Amino acid sequence: MPAYTAPLEDMRFVVHELLADERLQSLPGNEEFSADVLDAVLEEAARFCASVLQPLNRSGDEQGCLFENGVVRTPDGFKDAYREFAAGGWTGLAADNDYGGQGLPETMDALVNEMLCASNLSFAIYPGLSHGAYRLIRRYASEAQRNAWLPPLVEGRWSGTMCLTEPQCGTDLGLIRTHATPRGDDVFALNGAKCFISAGEHDLTENILHLVLARTPDAPPGTGGLSVFLVPKFTINADGTLGPRNGITCGNIEHKMGLNASATCTLNFDDAQGFLVGGLHQGMRVMFTMMNGARLAVALHGIGIAEAAYQGAVAYARERRQGRALDGPRSPEQAADSILVHPDVRRMLLGMRSQIEGARALSTWVAARYVHAQRNPDAQARDDAHDLVSLLTPILKAYCTDMGSEAANLGVQIYGGHGYIREHGMEQLVRDARVCQIYEGANGVQAMDLVGRKLPAHAGRYLRRFFQPVAAFIADNSDNGDLTEFVAPLSEAFALLQKATRWIAENGTRDPNEAGAAASEYLRLFALVAMAFMWARMARIALASESKNKFYRGKLATARFYMQRVLPQTASLYACIVAGGSSIADFEDEAF
Amino acid sequence: MPAYTAPLEDMRFVVHELLADERLQSLPGNEEFSADVLDAVLEEAARFCASVLQPLNRSGDEQGCLFENGVVRTPDGFKDAYREFAAGGWTGLAADNDYGGQGLPETMDALVNEMLCASNLSFAIYPGLSHGAYRLIRRYASEAQRNAWLPPLVEGRWSGTMCLTEPQCGTDLGLIRTHATPRGDDVFALNGAKCFISAGEHDLTENILHLVLARTPDAPPGTGGLSVFLVPKFTINADGTLGPRNGITCGNIEHKMGLNASATCTLNFDDAQGFLVGGLHQGMRVMFTMMNGARLAVALHGIGIAEAAYQGAVAYARERRQGRALDGPRSPEQAADSILVHPDVRRMLLGMRSQIEGARALSTWVAARYVHAQRNPDAQARDDAHDLVSLLTPILKAYCTDMGSEAANLGVQIYGGHGYIREHGMEQLVRDARVCQIYEGANGVQAMDLVGRKLPAHAGRYLRRFFQPVAAFIADNSDNGDLTEFVAPLSEAFALLQKATRWIAENGTRDPNEAGAAASEYLRLFALVAMAFMWARMARIALASESKNKFYRGKLATARFYMQRVLPQTASLYACIVAGGSSIADFEDEAF
Cβ of A586 and B557 within 8 Å? yes
Strand partners, A421: B256
Tell me the chain A residues in contact with residue B417 when contact means C-beta distances shorter than 8 Å: 165, 170, 196, 435, 438-439
Residue B345 in contact with partner chain A when CB distance is under 8 A = yes
Cα B568 to the center of its chain, rounded Å? 25
Nearest to A159 by CA among A117, A201, A103, A97: A201
| A493-521: b (≥16 Cβ within 10 Å) or e | bbebbeebbebbbebbeebbbbbbbbbbb
A397 in contact with chain B, both atoms CB, cutoff 8 A? no
At B1, the pLDDT band (50, 70, 90 cuts) reads low
CB of B1 less than 8 A from some CB of A: no
Q: What confidence tens digit (pLDDT) does each residue in A461-501 have? A: 999 999 999 999 999 999 999 999 999 999 999 999 999 99
Each residue's pLDDT tens digit, B533-589:
999 999 999 999 988 899 999 999 999 999 999 999 999 999 999 999 999 999 999
Which pLDDT tens digit goes with each residue over B55-96? 999 999 999 999 999 999 999 999 999 999 999 999 999 999
Tell me what pLDDT residue A186 has: 86
Please indicate if any CB of chain A lies within 8 Å of the CB of B340. Answer: yes
Structural domain including B236 reads 160-282
Task: Give per-residue pLDDT as tens, B325-349.
Answer: 999 999 999 999 999 999 999 999 9
- In this prediction, residue A547 carries a pLDDT of 85
From B440, B485, B521, B590, the catalytic residue? B440
Q: Are both A238 and A134 inside the same structural domain?
A: no
Question: Quick check: B334 contacting A, CB < 8 Å?
Answer: no
Within an 8 Å CB–CB cutoff, is residue B471 touching chain A? no
Round to whole Å and give the CA distance between A118 and A429. 9
What's the CA angle centered on B288, arms B287 and B289, to 5 degrees? 90
Interface test with A, best of B58, B172, B311, B318 (most A CBs within 10 A): B172
Q: Do B550 and A438 touch (CB under 8 A)?
A: no
pLDDT in tens, A539-573: 999 999 988 899 999 999 999 999 999 999 999 99
Smallest CA-to-CA distance from A324 within B493, B448, B349 is with B448
pLDDT of residue A546: 87
Dihedral, CA atoms, B207, B211, B213, B217, nearest 10 degrees? 70
Is B222 within 8 Å of chain A by CB? no
Residue B374 within any structural domain of the chain: no
Continuous segment of H or E residues that includes residue B56? none
User: Which among A327, A413, A569 has CB closest to B438?
Assistant: A413
Judgement on whether residues B167 and B130 belong to the same structural domain of the protein: no
pLDDT in tens, A176-214: 999 999 998 889 999 999 999 999 999 999 999 999 999
**Of B266, B282, B298, which marks where a domain is finished?**
B282
Q: Are residues A575 and A522 in the same domain?
A: yes
A125 & A35 share domain: yes
Residue B569 covered by a domain? yes
Query: What per-residue confidence (pLDDT) applies to B304?
Result: 98
**DSSP states of A511-573 as a string?**
-HHHHHHHHHHHHHHHHHHHHHHHHHHHHHHHHH-S---HHHHHHHHHHHHIIIIITTHHHHH
B255 touches A: beta carbon within 8 Å: yes
**Is A405 contained in some domain?**
no
Q: Name chain A contacts of B173, Cβ cutoff 8 Å.
A: none
Domain membership of residue A506 (yes or no) is: yes
Across A287-404, where does the E strand assignment appear? none
Q: What is the chain A residue with the closest CA to B7? A: A592
Q: What is the pLDDT of residues A29-48, one digit of tens each?
A: 998 999 999 999 999 999 99
Residue A548, pLDDT score: 85
pLDDT of residue A1: 59
Query: Number of Cβ pairs closer than 8 Å across A and B?
Result: 269
Digit-coded pLDDT (tens) for B153-171: 999 999 999 999 999 999 9
Q: Contact A95/A150 with Cβ under 8 angstroms?
A: yes
DSSP of B384-448: HHHHHHHHHHHHHHHHHHHHHHHHHHHHHHHHGGGGGBGGGSHHHHHHHHHGGGTSSS-HHHHHH
Cβ separation B416–A170 shorter than 8 A: yes
pLDDT in tens, B237-281: 999 999 999 999 999 999 999 999 999 999 999 999 999 999 999
Nearest to A38 by CA among A104, A94, A116: A104
Shortest CB distance from A323 goes to which of B172, B345, B575?
A: B172
A579 touching B (Cβ < 8 Å) = yes
- pLDDT tier at B527 (50, 70, 90 boundaries)? very high
Which of A182, A194, A200 shows the shortest CA–CA distance to A276?
A182
Catalytic residue selected from A166, A406, A440, A521: A440
* Confidence check: pLDDT of A224 > 70: yes
User: 83-102 in A: which are within 8 Å (CB) of B?
Assistant: none
Asked whether the predicted pLDDT for residue A306 surpasses 80, the reply is yes
A164 and A137 inside one domain = no
Q: B438 in contact with A at a CB cutoff of 8 Å? A: yes
Buried b (16+ CB within 10 A) or exposed e, A536-550: bbbbbebbeeeeeee
Residue of A256, A427, A572 lying closest to B421 (CB–CB): A256
pLDDT of residue B415: 97
Cβ contact A591–B255 (<8 Å): no
Give dist(CA B511, CA B431) in Å, integer. 38
End-to-end CA distance of chain A: 43
B330 touches chain A (CB under 8 A): no
- Residue A564 has its nearest CB partner, among B255, B571, B583, at B583
| Helices marked H in B184-336 | 283-319
Please calculate the CA angle A456-A462-A465 and round it to the nearest 5 degrees: 145
The answer as to whether A187 is a domain residue is yes
From A232, A267, A282, give the residue that closes a domain.
A282
The answer to whether residue B565 neighbours chain A at the CB level (below 8 Å) is: yes
Probe site for chain B from A195, A344, A576 (most B CB atoms < 10 A)? A344
Of B517, B585, B588, which is closest to A550 when you measure between CB atoms?
B588
Element (H, E) at B95: none
The domain boundary, picked from A96, A130, A149, lies at A149
Interface mutation vs chain A, best among B169, B301, B420, most A CBs within 10 Å:
B420
Residue A256 lies in a domain: yes
Phi, psi dihedral angles at A225 (to 5 degrees):
-105, 15
Q: How far is CA A492 from CA A568, A571, B185, in A?
A: 10, 10, 70
Measured between CB atoms, which of A170, A327, A513 is closest to B326? A513
As a whole number of angstroms, the distance between CA B391 and CA B382 comes to: 14
Same domain for B145 and B257, yes or no, is no
What is the distance in angstroms between the Cα of A178 and the nearest Cα belonging to chain B?
16
A406 CB neighbours in chain B (<8 A) are: none
Confidence check: pLDDT of B518 > 70: yes
Interface of B with A in 153-212 (CB under 8 A): 165, 168-172, 174-175, 196
**Percent of chain B whose predicted confidence (pLDDT) is above 90:** 97
| CB nearest A322 (choices: B169, B254, B579) | B169
Answer whether A585 sits within 8 Å of B254, measured CB to CB. Answer: no
Cβ neighbours of A171 in B, within 8 Å? 322-323, 416
**A contact test, residue of B310, B565, B567 with most A CBs within 10 A:** B565
Contact B512 A171 (CB under 8 A): no
Clarify whether residues B164 and B145 are in a common domain: no
Query: Do B409 and A413 make contact, defined as CB atoms within 8 angstroms?
Result: no
Contact by Cβ (8 Å): A365, A15: no
pLDDT higher than 90, residue B186: no
> What H or E segment, with its residue span, contains residue A388?
helix A379-415
Suggest the residue from B265, B347, B525, B576 to mutate for an interface test with chain A (most A CBs closer than 10 A): B347
**CB–CB of A348/B444 below 8 Å?**
yes
Interface test with B, best of A196, A311, A346 (most B CBs within 10 A): A346
CATH number for the domain including A102?
1.10.540.10
Q: Is A226 helix (H, G, I), strand (E, B) or coil?
A: strand
% of residues, chain A, pLDDT over 70: 100
**Contact call for A575 and B584, based on CB within 8 A:** no
- With respect to residue A88, please indicate whether it lies within any of the assigned structural domains: yes
CB-closest option in B171, B335, B421 to A322: B171
Q: What is the nearest CA distance from B206 to chain A, expressed in angstroms?
A: 28
Over residues B27-49, the mean pLDDT reads 96
> Quick check: is A294 in a domain?
no
Per-residue DSSP letter, B320: -
Same domain, A207 and A265: yes
Q: Is A22 a catalytic residue?
A: no
- Asked if residue A173 and residue A126 are part of one domain, the reply reads no
Arithmetic mean of pLDDT over chain B: 97
B129 and B205 inside one domain: no
- pTM for the model stands at 0.98
Residues 6+ apart with CB under 8 A from B566: B351, B354, B355, B528, B531
Note whether B19 and B143 are same-domain residues.
Answer: yes
* A167 and A37 fall within a common domain: no
Separation CA A504–CA A447 (nearest Å): 13
**Is A557–B520 a contact, with Cβ atoms under 8 angstroms apart?**
no
Cβ contacts (< 8 Å) between B349 and chain A: which residues?
Answer: 592
Q: What is the pLDDT of residues A429-439, one digit of tens each?
A: 999 999 999 99
Confidence band, pLDDT 50/70/90 cuts, at residue B310: very high
**Is the pLDDT reported for residue B2 higher than 80?**
no
Give the total number of structural domains in chain B: 3
Contact B564 A579 (CB under 8 A): yes
As a whole number of angstroms, the distance between CA B247 and CA A483 comes to: 66
Using a CB-CB distance cutoff of 8 angstroms, which residues of chain A are in contact with residue B409? 405, 434
